[in-house]
């Protein structure tokens, strides 16, 4: 009983402080910048605590009209003598595999985003999981495979048919209509005497055969770029911009192209509007806009951000996290992301109609992820790479090349209704987004946009 009383008291205080009742946007939620800054300094000291706390409890979301809940309504559902049972969010081998690949992706994204907090960063983690899993099939089971499995979060699974489960998950994500194409392959220096059974095993399991390259020449670059382009239906071009390192033997590559389709179309697109850039003058960027757009929405006061979920075709959705203060709250949002947290969001955000404005997203992003692997616990693997099921020779990773291309058009299959929406959600300042397959829970893409004007296709 006291627990609900404290929630109601906190909710009332928070609502009185943060809910703005302006005539133009009577339900628009704003957080006090002074309060956010003060809380941000405290939270930044112990970000890991907040992540652990969030994983152990359901996300506490204050939905936009939840302030009207009465004490009587809460008391009717309260069972004072019983503890709430933990709900298992992922119950099948496929959803558990999707959760593992997603948690790997969130951790890799945090490492990538931490390189420079002021830059745009993007990642298609499922393609990276796929190619590192192919690599693990050539690793020694007692050391290198164990390190790779831990980094990929496979150690959390009890799945004797792990590779079959991942293969089936990848096939489901590449279903026509979802808009995702993936290229993942291990390239090997020709000097290595590679065991045929490794090549056959990877090809049989994942439908792609690791390929030999000479190392260092333009022919290798052209061959790899051509293969990636073919696998992504011509959308990912110029995958490699420089030759492979000559003194290394193993070159995993992962690429993805995504062009999702909205269910509800945007009636206005391309109008140039201001986007607030942290520490700089506003940038003029093309925007998409639609009144009365159906979304799911909520506010997380712990993170200091407003969250929406936009449905796309073929059971895909996009989450947008709009921090109140980019300097204080963006890192908190990044650190909070786990498969459980996002699954909880999907179940608890509230359906509303909102006047929605989004930047037109069209970009490509490439990077070498190899320097980030020590942050995933692979420092020992890199220092003592044991690929005895692949080759008897010493083989080191030379790179982990990654590229993602994304396009979002305003078109959709349905029109929004014409009634006016009381809520406004304008994405006109730095934000974080992720694209997720709702059927499995798999993370497809994730990105942080600090300045859309610098995005290039």
Cα(387)–Cα(394) distance, integer angstroms: 8
pLDDT at 371: 97
Are 450 and 430 a contacting pair, CB within 8 Å?
yes
pLDDT at 312: 95
Could you tell me which residue, 29 or 249, shows the higher pLDDT? 249
pLDDT tens track for 185-203:
999 999 999 999 999 999 9
**With 50 as the cut, is the pLDDT of residue 46 above it?**
no
pLDDT at 85: 53
pLDDT tens track for 53-91:
544 434 344 444 443 333 333 333 344 444 445 567 898
Q: Residue range 40-59: average pLDDT?
A: 44
Are 359 and 275 a contacting pair, CB within 8 Å?
yes
Q: Is residue 296 part of a domain?
A: no
Could you tell me which residue, 106 or 78, shows the higher pLDDT? 106
* Beta carbons within 10 angstroms of residue 142's beta carbon: 9
Are 357 and 288 a contacting pair, CB within 8 Å?
yes
Structure tokens at 10: 């906190």
Residue with tokens 């960027």, as numbered in its chain: 285
The range of the structural domain enclosing residue 181 comes to 93-258+366-405
pLDDT at 456: 79
**With 90 as the cut, is the pLDDT of residue 269 above it?**
no
- Top mean pLDDT of 19-23, 394-398, 414-418 is at 394-398
pLDDT tens track for 115-150:
999 999 999 999 999 999 999 999 999 899 999 999
Band the pLDDT of 379: cuts 50, 70, 90.
very high
Are 101 and 126 a contacting pair, CB within 8 Å?
yes
Q: Give the chain's end-to-end CA distance (angstroms, integer).
A: 55
pLDDT tens track for 344-353:
999 999 999 9
Cα(89)–Cα(340) distance, integer angstroms: 7
Sign (positive or negative) of CA dihedral 425, 447, 228, 184: negative
Q: Is residue 421 part of a domain?
A: no
Nearest to 341 by CA among 38, 9, 54: 54
* Cα angle, residue 214 at apex, residues 209 and 220 outer, rounded to 5°: 75
Cα(251)–Cα(212) distance, integer angstroms: 10
Q: Is residue 351 part of a domain?
A: no
pLDDT at 408: 86
pLDDT tens track for 314-351:
999 999 999 998 888 999 999 999 999 999 999 999 99
Q: Is residue 457 part of a domain?
A: no
**With 90 as the cut, is the pLDDT of residue 313 above it?**
yes
Average confidence score pLDDT of the chain: 83
Q: Is residue 97 part of a domain?
A: yes
Q: Residue range 379-396: average pLDDT?
A: 95
pLDDT at 108: 98
What's the structural domain count of the chain?
1
Residue with tokens 């099948």, as numbered in its chain: 92
Nearest to 163 by CA among 143, 183, 148, 142: 148
Q: Is residue 28 part of a domain?
A: no
Q: Is residue 415 part of a domain?
A: no
pLDDT at 87: 61
pTM for the model stands at 0.84
Cα(136)–Cα(313) distance, integer angstroms: 34
Q: Residue range 405-431: average pLDDT?
A: 85
pLDDT at 413: 73
Q: What is the dihedral of CA 215, 217, 221, 222, to 10 degrees?
A: -130
Residue 235: CB partners within 8 Å, gap ≥ 6?
A: 181, 229, 257, 259, 405
CATH at residue 117 = 3.30.497.10
Q: Is residue 35 part of a domain?
A: no
Query: pLDDT > 90: what percent of the chain?
Result: 70
Q: What's 358-376 look like in SS3?
A: EECCEEEEEEECHHHHHHH
pLDDT at 189: 94
Cα(429)–Cα(426) distance, integer angstroms: 8
């Amino acid at each position: 009983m006291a627990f609900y009383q404290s929630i109601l008291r906190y909710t009332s205080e928070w609502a009185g402080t943060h809910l703005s009742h302006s005539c133009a946007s009577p339900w628009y939620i704003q957080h006090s910048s002074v309060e956010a800054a003060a809380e941000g300094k405290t939270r930044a000291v112990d970000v890991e605590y907040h992540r652990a706390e969030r994983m152990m409890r359901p996300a506490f979301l204050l939905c936009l009209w939840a302030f009207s809940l009465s004490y009587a309504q809460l008391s009717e559902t309260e069972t004072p003598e019983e503890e709430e049972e933990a709900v298992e969010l992922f119950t099948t081998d496929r959803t558990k595999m999707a959760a593992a690949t997603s948690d790997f992706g969130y951790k890799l994204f945090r490492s990538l985003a931490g390189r420079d907090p002021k830059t745009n960063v993007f990642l298609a983690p499922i393609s990276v999981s796929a190619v590192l899993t192919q690599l693990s099939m050539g690793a020694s089971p007692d050391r290198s495979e164990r390190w790779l499995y831990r980094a990929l979060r496979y150690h959390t699974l009890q799945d004797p048919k792990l590779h079959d489960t991942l293969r089936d998950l990848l096939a489901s994500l590449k279903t026509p209509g979802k808009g995702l194409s993936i290229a993942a392959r291990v390239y090997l220096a020709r000097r290595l005497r590679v065991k045929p059974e490794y090549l056959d095993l990877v090809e049989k399991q994942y439908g792609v055969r690791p390929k030999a390259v000479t190392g260092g020449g333009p022919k290798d670059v052209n061959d790899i770029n051509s293969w990636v382009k073919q696998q992504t239906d011509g959308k990912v071009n110029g995958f490699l911009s420089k030759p492979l390192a000559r003194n290394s033997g193993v070159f995993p590559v992962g690429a993805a192209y995504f062009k999702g389709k909205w269910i509800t179309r945007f009636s206005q697109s391309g109008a140039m509007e201001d986007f607030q850039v942290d520490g700089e003058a506003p940038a003029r960027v093309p925007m998409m806009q639609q009144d009365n757009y159906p979304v799911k929405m909520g506010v997380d006061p712990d993170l200091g951000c407003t969250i929406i979920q936009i449905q796309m075709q073929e059971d895909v959705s996009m989450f947008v996290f709009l921090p109140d203060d980019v300097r204080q709250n963006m890192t908190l949002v990044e650190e909070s992301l786990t498969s459980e947290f996002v699954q909880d969001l999907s179940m608890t955000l509230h359906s509303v109609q909102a006047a929605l404005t989004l930047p037109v997203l069209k970009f490509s992003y490439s990077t070498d992820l190899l320097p980030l692997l020590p942050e995933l616990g692979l420092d020992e693997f890199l220092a003592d790479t044991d690929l005895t099921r692949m080759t008897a020779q010493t083989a080191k990773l030379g790179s982990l090349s990654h590229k993602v291309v994304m396009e979002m058009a305003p078109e959709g299959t349905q029109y929004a209704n014409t009634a006016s929406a009381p809520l406004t959600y304008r994405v006109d300042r730095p934000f974080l987004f992720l694209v997720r397959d709702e059927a499995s829970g798999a993370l497809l893409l994730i990105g942080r946009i600090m300045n859309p004007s610098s995005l290039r296709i």
